[in-house]
Amino acid sequence: MSEHDWQRSSFCGGGGNNCVEVTALADGSGVALRESECPDTFLATNKHALRALLLSMKASHAGPCSSGQS
């Protein structure tokens, strides 16, 4: 999937390989996510599932250093 236009997270620090990246799938069916340290491994999902995940994370106030426990 290296031929895709991967977009890095705005939380990516220093431009190194410590970033989450996302791209649209070529067939328009969804999106792919990857960790920049492992560019050949990615997770593909549809846009609705990704939106639900992001909204859930925002609602739980999960941050970059949050353990997810209350």
pLDDT tens profile 13-57: 766 677 889 999 988 889 999 988 888 999 999 989 989 988 988
Structure tokens at 32: 């792919």
**More confident of the two residues 2 and 55:** 55
Q: Cα separation of 18 and 37, whole Å?
A: 6
Q: How far apart are the first and last CA of the chain?
A: 38
The pLDDT of residue 70 is 46
The pLDDT of residue 12 is 78
* DSSP 8-class letter at 14: T
Confidence of residue 62 (pLDDT cuts 50, 70, 90): low
CB 11 within 8 A of CB 64: yes
Question: Tokens 């970033």 correspond to what residue?
Answer: 19
Whether the model pTM is above 0.75: no
Structure tokens at 50: 């990704």
Q: Which helix (H) or strand (E) holds 59?
A: helix 47-59
